[in-house]
Amino acid sequence: MKTIDELLAEGVTGKRVFVRADLNVPLEGTTITDDGRIRAVAPTVAKLAEAGARVIVASHLGRPKGAPDPAFSLAPAAARLGEILGADVAFATDTVGESAKATVAALTDGQVAVVENLRFNAGETAKDDAERGAFADQLAELADVYVGDGFGAVHRKHASVFDLPARLPHAAGYLIATEVGVLKKLTDDVRRPYVVVLGGAKVSDKLGVIDHLLEKADRILVGGGMAYTFLKAKGHEVGISLLQEDQIPACLDYLARAEKRGVEFVLPLDVMVSAEFPDLKTKAPANPELVASDAIPADKEGLDIGPKTRELYAAKLADAGTVFWNGPMGVFEHPDYANGTKAVAQALLDSDGFTVVGGGDSAASVRILGFDENAFGHISTGGGASLEYLEGKTLPGLAALED
């Protein structure tokens, strides 16, 4: 795929360059709680503006139902992008309507504009090729060149990700180039031992990647809500912990395959439990109880890994040549259940290996818990995209950028 440096060498002065970014940041009202994705795309936007392009930034945010919804406006993200760039960023109150057309027409060389949420338009996510294509046609009218840099969306066959690059000269931005380079290190050029840490809520979210990584990894460490389905599969009581009964056969199969292939498949030794889910707004003390992972009371819910597990996982990560971590170890948003996630993050920092934090809640937890994100090998902006790449799937947004 063409790189942005190749595009810049051809010259972009005066050209309208459409940058498909990922500004899908968490919001509390209009306050951005983690601006990592905005900061990640800023170098591409800045370089294009510096070269004299008229930059049009587009993204989705949340899951609006194909119509405008003020709760999902990109206005806060546009304002934050301007702060990061140290420049005024114009904002269009629609995506392809009169405001977008007027805003883009008013741009001069080196200026930047953000258009409103792509998903306020039903054509962005339409399953029908013609409907999606019609929206891509409208987007294409705004620009002369396309730059794909929204890695967090490249696994989606959406109009701005898949259809629009076919309608314009296109190139990959700096973020996508970096993300793909890192993922190739996790698939084609792995330093061993290769240790994978998987957490998060559901086993079903990780089925494909577990299946694929059983052929690649030396160790797989499991925490978070998904651990309880594995514990149940081993015959343990899990109380009222998060459980996917229908995934127990798959868990048993993975455990058997791991043993056959000599892959260490490590589950928690102990967990922090409570009869009630913690209040994440007030952060009121939750009074957690420590129990062995095979002795969870019937009326309690597992909400974090315990100290023995934290120590075990740190030891399993200590000699790693490569680490991929996707998914927190517990309800890290509450201080009483953040210690497991903190321990994994610290173990990655202490490692001499190549460490990759695989996007989503893992990336958010690193920043929220106060770790220096520059100390990790790489923090991905796309959890779902990273997982699908590691599953060996073709990602529509990357395929669309290939020449």
Residue 158 labeled ligand binder: no
- Judge whether 61 is annotated as a binding position: yes
351 in a labelled binding site: no
Contact between residue 198 and residue 221 where contact means Cβ atoms under 8 Å apart: yes
Q: Which residue has the tokens 């730059």?
A: 147
Going by their DSSP bridges, the two strands 289-292 and 270-274 should be labelled as: antiparallel
The reply, when asked if residue 109 is annotated as ligand binding, is no
* 310 in a labelled binding site: no
- State how far the Cα of 185 lies from the Cα of 189, in Å rounded to an integer: 5
Q: Is 287 annotated as belonging to a binding site?
A: no
* Residue 386 counted as an annotated binding residue: no
Q: Is 2 designated active site?
A: no
Residues in CB range of 339: below 8 A, 6 or more apart:
272, 304, 307, 310, 330
Tokens for 139, please give them: 């987007």
Kindly name the residue from 167, 202, 257, 393 that is annotated as catalytic: 202
Is 37 labelled as part of a ligand binding site? Answer: yes
> Which residue in 224, 353, 384, 397 is the catalytic one?
384
Sign of the alpha-carbon dihedral angle for 239, 242, 247, 250:
negative
SS3 22: coil
CA atoms within 13 A on the CB side of 17: 34
202: annotated active-site residue: yes
* 339 is annotated as contributing to ligand binding: no
Q: Considering only CA atoms, which of 191, 192, 147 is closest in space to residue 43?
A: 147
* Selection from 334, 347, 308 nearest residue 197 by Cα: 347
- According to the annotation, is 206 in a ligand binding site? yes
Q: Which residues lie below 8 Å from residue 373, measured CB to CB, with a gap of 6+?
A: 36, 366, 367, 379
The residue whose two tokens read 């070269």 is 51
Structure tokens at 257: 């395959």
The answer to whether 293 is a known ligand-binding residue is no
37 as an active site residue: the answer is yes
Selecting among 340, 353, 360, 382, the annotated active-site residue is 360
The reply to whether 302 sits in an annotated binding site is yes
Out of 15, 16, 20, 37, the active site residue is: 37
Residue 80 known to be catalytic: no
Task: Find out whether 62 is annotated in a ligand binding site.
Answer: yes
What residues act catalytically? 37, 202, 360, 384
Give the residue ranges of the annotated binding site: 22-24, 37, 60-63, 119, 156, 206, 302, 333, 359-362
Give the residue ranges of the annotated binding site for ATP: 206, 302, 333, 359-362
